[in-house]
Amino acid sequence: MEFAMPLFAAIIVAFGLIKRVPVFDCFANGAREGIGVLYRIAPTIFGLVFAVNLLRSSGAVDAVCGFIQPAAEFIGFPKEVVPMAMLRPVSGSGSSVLLTGVFEQCGPDSFAGRVASVIAGSSETTFYAVAMYYGSIGIKNIRHTLVAAIAADLTAFAVSVVTVNAFL
């Protein structure tokens, strides 16, 4: 698995060479777009890290987690991941910040760190995607879209715990 990322990159570069694409120019153009994305999300990240740091040092998370803990423990869900799972459908940057918070608190290779990783990888910013796509064409009645989308997120949360228990 550790080899997948470099292998994938090598295949794409080799394919580009075969197709006679100016690979390095392409790479530079793409990297420039990457910087643009970073520039756009930087203020959001600053604001969210600020809020999340405040929240964590205030003791509010511990209080809420203490409240949720029995329920979370009952279904085998790591309590440290609860805040991240709650923010995940709303904000991508926010849940990244909370994900690194779980890594700091428990370590990326702990049970909570692994579950948080799998949730981050297998769920999406549902509300953002729904609002953007329907907003772009002026749809007012979205029927059962949210029901199905939230079912996807809840499934991802549950299956994350199950797969981490089963495979790691």
Partner 1 sequence: MLNYIWSAIVIISIICSVACGNTHNLSSAVIDSGASAIELLMTMAGVMCIWSGIMKIAEQSGFSKIIAKIFSPLLRLLFPSLDPEGETFGSITMNISANLLGLGNTATPFGIKAMQGLNRINGESKTASDEMIVFVVMNTASLQLLPTMLGTLRQSYGSKAPFEIMTCVWISSACALAAALVLAVGINKTGLGRK
Site for partner 1, residues 121 to 160, rule: CB under 8 A? 121-124, 126-127, 129-130, 132-134, 136-145, 147-149, 151-153, 155-156, 159-160
Q: What is the DSSP-derived secondary structure letter of residue 24? A: H
Q: Is residue 81 within 8 Å of residue 61, measured between CB atoms? A: no
CB of 77 to partner 1, least distance (A): 14
Gap between the Cα atoms of 7 and 164, Å rounded: 25
Return the ∠ at Cα 4 (arms to 95 and 153), rounded to 5°: 30
Gap between the Cα atoms of 96 and 80, Å rounded: 14
CB of 78 to partner 1, least distance (A): 14
CB of 105 to partner 1, least distance (A): 10
Q: Which residue number, 76 or 155, has a Cβ lying nearer to partner 1?
A: 155
Q: Is 167 in the site for partner 1 (CB under 8 A)?
A: yes
What residues between 8 and 27 interact with partner 1 by CB under 8 A?
8-9, 12-13, 15-16, 18-19, 21, 23, 26-27
Gap between the Cα atoms of 19 and 118, Å rounded: 35
What residues between 43 and 102 interact with partner 1 by CB under 8 A?
45-60, 63, 87, 90-91, 94, 96-97, 99-100
Gap between the Cα atoms of 12 and 1, Å rounded: 18
